[in-house]
Amino acid sequence: MSRISSIFFDVGGVLLTNAWDHGERGQALARFRIDAAEFQRLHEEVVEGFERGEITLDQYLERTVFFRPRTFSPEEFKSCMFSLSQPLAGRLELARDLAKSDKYFMGTINNESRELNSYRIHTFGLRELFSVFVSSCYVGLRKPDESIYRCALEVTQHVPEECCFIDDREENLAPAAKVGMRVIQARSTEQIKTELEKVGVSV
């Protein structure tokens, strides 16, 4: 079995709470009393382009929220969106310990819109932990499309068998495994550590 030399993390659901998934959207919609069914229909029309970096956050909100007059401003809504991002217990510390060891190349493979991704990278100090961000908004590809995993391998020129990918969703792990990466489904911090040790990563 090849030695693991590179570790790729998902961000939302692994290191941090999700940025703008179903739960986060629900919280924002309830706070601003926005019709959830109408929003969901409009969201589904534009979310792929939003996460691929083809439209900005302002354009996304114009299509989904501010297509009619509101009693709140786009700035208020965006502030709420950003505030929903929080660290998951022990996860950033785990990634920081791996980065500090200097034994592994560290990167992310994540689906995220440009503005939320940039906010999370800056706010939570992710530049200190990761050498590359293979984010959907930067590369124009989204998980679980197999091509985003191939992109990560090609950009970094790393052998798939020497890479480990950590994600909380099984549907995102299957294509990573298909291209040859070893995979871990994140359920808890201690479980991630145990699974990393099983593939030879010292934590």
CATH code for position 189: 3.40.50.1000
The whole domain housing 50 covers 22-83
Per-residue pLDDT of 117-146, as tens digits, reads 999 999 999 999 999 999 999 999 999 999
Beta strands 163-167 and 132-135, pairing class: unpaired
Give the span between the Cα atoms of 153 and 147, in whole angstroms: 10
144 in the same domain as 114: yes
Mean of all residue pLDDT scores within the chain:
97
Residue 160 has which token pair? 């798939």
Element (H, E) at 29: helix 22-32
The pTM of this model reads 0.95
96 in the same domain as 10: yes
Gyration radius of the chain's alpha carbons = 18
- DSSP 8-state class, residue 12: B
Does position 77 have pLDDT exceeding 80, yes or no? yes
Instruction: Give 2's pLDDT tier (boundaries 50, 70, 90).
Output: confident
Does position 21 have pLDDT exceeding 70, yes or no? yes
Is 109 strand, coil or helix? strand
Does position 56 have pLDDT exceeding 80, yes or no? yes
Q: Domain holding 61: CATH number?
A: 1.10.150.240
Bridge partners of residue 6, in order along the sequence: 105, 163
91 in the same domain as 77: no
In a domain, residue 152? The reply is yes
Asked which of 31, 63, 83 is the last residue of a domain, the reply is 83
Asked which of 31, 50, 83 is the last residue of a domain, the reply is 83
Tokens 């939320």 belong to which residue?
A: 116
In a domain, residue 203? The reply is no
Q: How many domains does the chain have?
A: 2
Q: What is the mean pLDDT of residues 137-156?
A: 98
In a domain, residue 1? The reply is no
Instruction: Give 1's pLDDT tier (boundaries 50, 70, 90).
Output: low
